Amino acid sequence: MKASAVSEDVSGVKAIIVNYLREIGDGGTFKSHDVELELPRWGYLRYKRAHNPGTYSRSFRELREKDVLKYFGIELTEMDSRKEKAWKVRLFT
């Protein structure tokens, strides 16, 4: 599946999440506060789509639990953190 095909395969909030993770890039870190603070702001600035943090949180959890991210060339590895959940982003083709 092509990286540019995200908007065709996943719509709305999930597409924004996938594109945000791609922008973080290979080796970047994604933290739980990103879902609550950064994603809503980034989604609005980039796509002019306003969604509340809860919507992003539910959609991110669904993408993770159903292992959908691998279809878009994204792998998340949970990192050890006492303060908050964090994942290392790995991009592959």
- Does any domain span residue 31? yes
Residues 47-58 have pLDDT tens digits of 998 999 999 999
CATH number, domain of 56, equals 1.10.10.10
- Does any domain span residue 6? no
The model carries a pTM of: 0.84
- Does any domain span residue 65? yes
Domain that holds residue 68: 12-91
Residues 1-46 have pLDDT tens digits of 344 444 444 468 999 999 999 999 999 999 999 999 999 999 999 9
Q: Encode 9-60 in three state secondary structure.
A: HCCCHHHHHHHHHHHHCCCCEEEHHHHHHHHHHHHHHHHCCCCCHHHHHHHH
- Does any domain span residue 58? yes
- Does any domain span residue 78? yes
Residue 76, H or E segment: strand 74-79
Domain count for the chain: 1
